[in-house]
Amino acid sequence: MVGYPEALTDPSYRGQILVLTYPLIGNYGVPSSTETDEHGLPTYFESGEIHIAGLVVSSYSWEHSHWAARQSLSEWLVEKQVPGMYGVDTRALTKKIREIGALLGNIVVVSSEGPPNSIPESQITTFSDPNARNLVAEVSTKSINVYGSSNSPSVIAYDCGMKYNIIRCLVDVHKVKLTVVPFDYDLEKNPSNIEWEGLFLSNGPGDPTMCPQTIKSIQYALNLDPPRPIFGICLGNQLLSLAAGAKTYKLKYGNRGMNQPCIDLRTGRCYITPQNHGFAVDSNSLPAMWKPLFINANDLTNEGIVHTDRPFFSVQFHPEASGGPLDTAFLFDKFVGHVRKISQPLVLQDGLAYQRQTVKKVLLVGSGGLSIGQAGEFDYSGSQCIKALKEEGIEVVLINPNIATVQTSTEKNEVTPGADKVYFLPIRPHVVMDIIAKEKPDGIIVSMGGQTALNVGVELWKTGQLQKAGVKVLGTQIDAIEATEDREIFSQKLQEIGESIALSYSANNVEEALEAARKIGYPVLVRAAFALGGLGSGFAENDAELKDLASKAFTVSSQILIDQDLRGWKELEYEVVRDSSDNCITVCNMENFDPLGVHTGDSIVVAPSQTLTNREFFMLRKTALKVVRHLGIVGECNIQYALNPKSEKYCIIEVNARLSRSSALASKATGYPLAYVATKLALGRDLVSIRNSITKTTTACFEPSLDYCVLKMPRWDLKKFNRVSNKLGSSMLSVGEVMSIGRSFEEVIQKACRMVNPSLDGLEGIDSNLTDDEIPLEEQIAVPTDTRLFAVQRALEEGWGVDKVYEHTKIDKWFLSKLENIARMRKACKDCGDVEKLFAENGTDRMRSLKMAGFSDQQIARYTNLTPLRDGTARVRAIRKSLGVIPCVKQIDTLAAEFPAETNYLYMTYSGNEDDVSEGLHDPIVSESDDESWPATPASKAFKNRIRSASLATSKSESLADKQERGVMVLGCGAYCIGSSVEFDWCAVSAIRQLRKDGFKSIIVNYNPETVSTDYDESDRLYFEELSLERVLDIYEREGAGGIVVSVGGQIPNNLAGSLASSGAKILGTSARDIERAEDRQQFSDMLDDMGLKQPAWSVARSMEEAVKFSEDVGFPVLVRPSFVLSGAAMRVASDEAQLKNFLGLAADVAADRPVVVTKFILGAKEIEFDAVANQGKILNYAIGEHLENAGVHSGDATVILPAQKLYVETIRQIKKYAVAISKALNITGPFNIQFMATGNDVQVIECNLRASRTFPFVSKTFHKNFISLATRAMCGLHVVPYNINLLDIDYVCVKAPMFSFTRLRGADPTLGVEMASTGEVACFGDDAPRAFLQAMLATGFKLPKAGSTVLLSIVNDNFRREFAESAITLSKMGYKLSATPGTARWYNANYNLDMKMVTKPVNSEDDGDDPATGAPSALSELKESDVELVINISEGTTRKDEISSGYIIRRTTVDYGISLVTNVKCAIWLVKSMERGYDKFKAKSVAEFYHLDV
């Protein structure tokens, strides 16, 4: 990955053809070959020439980017006349070398003037064996050279191919006078009369037995009395061994690279070392008084020897490491110390390795509901933690109110052990202490639940409650956590070890913040301490902006931080793991595509880093280890840097002493399970003893090798919110992320674009429809936004050039050059314009080049004008396959194929020649549907014809064993977004676990790194891949799967059902035709009319005029509803004609060619959820949940009560009757959800989703019956028996409450409507609904007003005021002071004599002065300056208004100042009722206690 200039000039590689496993090479060019150091040695190289015979890489970067580069790698190789080749499947080549052993090779350069067959065969088949040559003689110096002549002591170094960095290390660092002699210098005769006090034996190439002269001289030195210290490295280790009388042997494969783990046999410590050797010492042949000093932690070969009573020792690796890590540089200290006759300290094994934590019960604190900055990654971390704890036989108690998560599942088996007890309770300090008092755990883990868990742990420790209860904090201790969270302590800690952060000051009030900003100089970054995801942060250009930001930041933290602005610098991150024995490794390093200034959660991130040199990479790595050790972190953490793009200057941004979003990304990017390992380390295990969970044979104390590139791209949903700026900064705004894997940067960024937005075909500017023709491109690319990438691409497509784009964006030119390559290839395709012409010449090479660059079949079809696009895409697919261009399947195996790995963690790429895993044993099953009305493409017909005889003939008679062997593909949820979140991951995981339980091979396809479903332990085969038609068909055909489950991953896989079916794939469960009948608003409404089932009046919006006429006929308000969308996207309530016309345009954009329906919106109706599982049209089990809010609030934002508490018996009867009819009509098999509305006993159907809904985990965990497990069995055609669910036996209630992130979405109106706005959910159990409701509210982070504080009311009309009147009286009786806006105050004072204080409505966000006429204070001044702790603001709540109202200003200010807000009258009434009854005080009960299980 890094260090190719150093490796190519390493004399140890003399005569070898060097294969680099990382696919992208040449990124940072080659530095100056003329620049020298004070010794006259080349500054950046390890010798004066390139020593390799040839270079083989997968992908070469023709454009390089680095401030130190003076030429490209290609130019350097040409200059030195060394052949190099790219386009080779280096992974396949590595596997061959691994299996067969080091091979002889020959690179034959074909003349450009003659044909390839003109080369004589003898030239091709003639091999030169470098091992037959005396390579040491070739590379050793021919003269004696002295370095550091004024230094002392004097050391002779035998140059057997010595790297220049060894000279620098001994002379510059250790101040040694170094005399370098040829390998055959006779030390006994010492013809040059060199004075020496120590002997150094260098590295070098080839067989050590070819150096008899060197061995003879070493033997002379060994026999001197008194002894003189001897130290050897690499070849020097072998030479010392031979001189001592031991033997060496040729390794089959050799140990090379920069990440070989070696164990110090004196201490048990493991170090990461760089190596390059093909021979090893036979430890068994060591004579008396000699012992092994180091061994390789992976293959247990010898890595060093030591004499037991004389100062002789050597190591097989390179402590001076160039390139590579400097973890063992202390060995030079030891050697020079011996030479100086300084007593060397006794090194012993650290006793901490034996101090295992003796815990029997652990409390794991979860993260709660998903929010921006704290999402599904903590479900993955927590699930891994539970797995690790259960392996150690520890009882696990979990507190987490997020009912949608996998970790809160109560089903347990040997493969997927769950927590022993689960508490669905608010994560508050007093609640955690209640659980501790009840459960009496030995230890607590607070590092797996994000900032929520960490803050609770810190508070309980600082108040002494954990110590008093005798509960140990496992892993990183609280004082270390505080050192990373408190900026002043952190800065002080770094200064202690000579490191620094950016200029930064803490402030406890606005005045201190202003003073700090003036010290640093504007612009400055404002951040809240102890806050997640940059909450409460932003950039301030002046005092006014700072005051505003600081005021808001103080609402979420008592301390804020004022930081130096480093925007434009590179941002990098290292994931670090350390155990209690001080073994420390970096698992992954990542580089942000965007320069500093964009929160890393909102930046495109590439792993590993692409533009760092060896010096920069290991400089930052060395700092990371130093910082983590100094802080005393045990477990996993990450460290973030800012690196000057024009020098090696850097500063540390922060350290997160916990599992984070980046940890989940790094785990999935490398295959290294960070949370699992961190848990083991928290229990006192050491890294060396933990096994690599992929290879199963090697140690976990290693740094993964990546022979692929990974790219993370964020997913935003900012367009759902009016007035929210799409500008990106220091406060995170993204709601999810995707991760793509490939072997070229172009491939991964195009993949990621399709993953993050399924409507995109790849990375395009002009064709993306995401750039604005009204705004100059300069403006669109200068400021980071959620669409800047596409504006940058458009600029490149329009010929701006890399340099011009760089000046506007400061995005590294290497990244921009890759984007420009995509733009050029797009232009070439469009200029050709004809698919036959495009592939007429060199068709295979052209197609492969496009696919290697990440272009989809649909992109190629569109560029070559194939219409209709669906048929055109199928035609491109057929052409591609006829050319033999099909993707290869590669493994993520952590060690770049250097060790065998039976891993099921897979990705697909076109940059390869062979698969890592075998294909399925069966032909894929073709869909058995003979419905000719279902559209089919020419390619799908050919596909069906090709395999129909093979598949249909067998599928009808296939045994269960055959079906199980074929396996089932499960399509996951894709990126988390508003409307599709962790609940669908729970559904996918439930499905694959049930498949495995029933003996089916399970194949999961997903690309979300935050999920549990993408944990390779969960399925038989994990494809970390796109959920596109093209890629799903690739996998389906390759695996020969028995069918595809599309109904457990949300809307993305559900929308693929039709295309998959028409392409011949078998959809398990409900047919694709019936899915369309439910998703298509017009078809579904027609069906309901035909069946005589009631629904609101509706009409298809064929034209604007028809829609307006329909709306006028039925009366406003009306609901605009597009088809095939998720979370109510573009769904709007229009209250007049102008709104209707506006919303219809928006819906048409979202729906594309699908119908848009306008329905009458019914006010005051109750909304009801019906979740069920059916088999062949017959309902097996169902759950009826009622919404607390009236219809008009999206079901994802509603408070849902289960079992329903206030539905009439007749209402329930009608709901069941309608559901039975719909299930039968659509012949449903699998999960489905119907939403009803009821006015009195009048029930009407809203919609039906023939897939799992977001409430499936909620109903499954409430009833303690997994609905998805049942649905999976039904979809696989197994015998299914309904669960026995008797509502009369359920004497508890569960309430699900939404989790919002309005505090982050500056400008968003924090009110609810028909389009979903929540980012997560929680649920709590209670003996009755009000108890469960209040616990659920508290679990969302809602703060109850303290006794005697002020409650501000602003209620829109008399009906709502009347409805809330009893609650207003109750608040007054409870001692709360009441303030209200004029209309509300006058109404309550007149009707109930409540003596409410009147406050004026603000006209704008600056209107915080008193009313000059009445003297009444402004509502804004009340919120900012008085003791208001709760605002109840009830608006119309159904229409989306673009104008800024006083109600909006009140709501927005409430959120910005961290004051609790309620905007729904039903919720407000329930809140007051629960507060009055004192339900905020409750006894902690686990879910098992509610289920009445034996606990």
Confidence tier at 1098 by pLDDT (50, 70, 90): confident
Residues with Cβ within 8 Å of 853's Cβ and at least 6 positions away in sequence, in order, are 744, 746, 747, 750, 821, 822, 825
For this structure, is 898 an active site residue? no
What percent of the chain clears pLDDT 70, i.e. is strictly above it? 94
Instruction: Summarize the confidence of residues 507-514 as an average pLDDT.
Output: 91
> Residue 58: which of 16, 105, 91 has the closest Cα?
91
Q: Which residues contact 430 (CB under 8 A, 6 or more apart)?
A: none
State the average pLDDT over residues 1337-1341. Answer: 95
Read off the pLDDT of residues 664-675 as tens digits, 9 standing for 90 and up.
999 999 999 999
* Contacts made by residues 697-701, CB under 8 angstroms, sequence distance 24+: 697/298, 697/899, 697/900, 698/297, 698/298, 698/895, 698/899, 699/261, 699/270, 699/297, 699/298, 700/672, 701/261, 701/270, 701/297, 701/583, 701/585
Residue 323 binned pLDDT confidence (cut-offs 50, 70, 90) = confident
Question: What are the φ/ψ torsions at residue 871 (nearest 5 degrees)?
Answer: -70, -35
**What tens digit of pLDDT does each residue of 1077-1086 get?**
998 878 999 9
Residue 356: pLDDT band with limits 50, 70, 90: low
Q: Taking the CA atoms of 239, 240, 246 and 250 in sequence, report the sign of the dihedral they define.
A: negative
| Torsion on CA atoms 366, 371, 373, 375, rounded to nearest 10 | 50
CA distance 215 to 187: 10
Asked if residue 1383 lies in contact with residue 1416, where contact means CB atoms within 8 angstroms, the answer is no
Handedness of CA 440, 444, 450, 456 (dihedral sign): positive
Neighbours of 1393 (CB within 10 A): 10
1390-1411 mean pLDDT:
88
Q: Which of 232, 170, 228, 178 is nearest to 204 (CA)?
A: 232
Comparing CA positions, the residue from 650, 554, 558 lying closest to residue 596 is 650
User: Is 711 in contact with 749 (CB distance < 8 Å)?
Assistant: yes
Distance CA 140, CA 160 (A): 5
Write down the pLDDT at residue 934.
44
Q: Does pLDDT of 955 surpass 50? A: no
In this prediction, residue 953 carries a pLDDT of 39
**Residue 1259 token pair:** 């109903």
Return the structure tokens found at 1001. 């091979």
Taking 90 as the threshold, does the pLDDT of residue 1445 lie above it?
no
For 525-560, the pLDDT digits (tens) are 888 876 655 566 788 999 999 998 888 888 878 888
Query: Would the pTM count as exceeding 0.95?
Result: no
Amino acid identity of 360? Answer: K
Average pLDDT, the chain: 90
* CA terminus-to-terminus distance, the chain: 53
Reply yes or no on whether the pLDDT at 769 is more than 70: yes
318: annotated active-site residue: yes
Pick from 630, 623, 629: nearest CA to 653: 623
| 285 close to 247: Cβ distance less than 8 angstroms | yes
Question: Whole-angstrom Cα distance, residue 1435 to residue 1359?
Answer: 11
Q: Inform me whether the pLDDT recorded for 649 exceeds 50.
A: yes
Backbone angles phi, psi at 220, to 5 degrees: -60, -45
Q: What is the DSSP annotation of 133-162? A: S-HHHHHS-SS-EEE-TT-SSEEEEEESS-
Classify 404 as helix, strand or coil: coil
Told to judge if 320 belongs to the known catalytic residues of this protein, a careful annotator would answer yes
Helix (H, G, I), strand (E, B) or coil at 182: strand
Q: How far apart are CA 321 and CA 204, in angstroms?
A: 14
Average pLDDT over residues 1285-1294: 91
Residue 1298 makes CB contacts below 8 A (sequence gap 6+) with 1196, 1197, 1198, 1199, 1318, 1320, 1321, 1340
Q: pLDDT (tens digit, 9 = 90+) per residue, 22-44?
A: 889 999 999 999 999 999 999 99
Rounded to an integer, what distance in angstroms lies between the CA atom of residue 847 and that of residue 1074? 37
Q: What percent of the chain has pLDDT over 90?
A: 71
What whole-number distance in Å separates Cα of residue 1008 and Cα of residue 376? 10
Q: Which two tokens stand for residue 517?
A: 């900003």
Nearest to 760 by CA among 453, 468, 560, 975: 975
Given 320, 571, 1422, 1429, the catalytic residue? 320
- Which tokens is 1448 given? 């909006």
Can you tell me whether residue 1034 is helix, strand or coil? helix
Q: Exactly one of 211, 234, 270, 888 is catalytic; which is it? A: 234
Distances (CA, A) of 709 to 491, 532, 769, 793, 892: 34, 28, 28, 20, 11
Q: Which of 64, 277, 318, 599 is catalytic?
A: 318
Question: Is 171 in contact with 178 (CB distance < 8 Å)?
Answer: yes
pLDDT band at 691 (very low <50, low <70, confident <90, very high): confident
More confident site: 118 or 874: 874
Residue 57 pLDDT > 50: yes
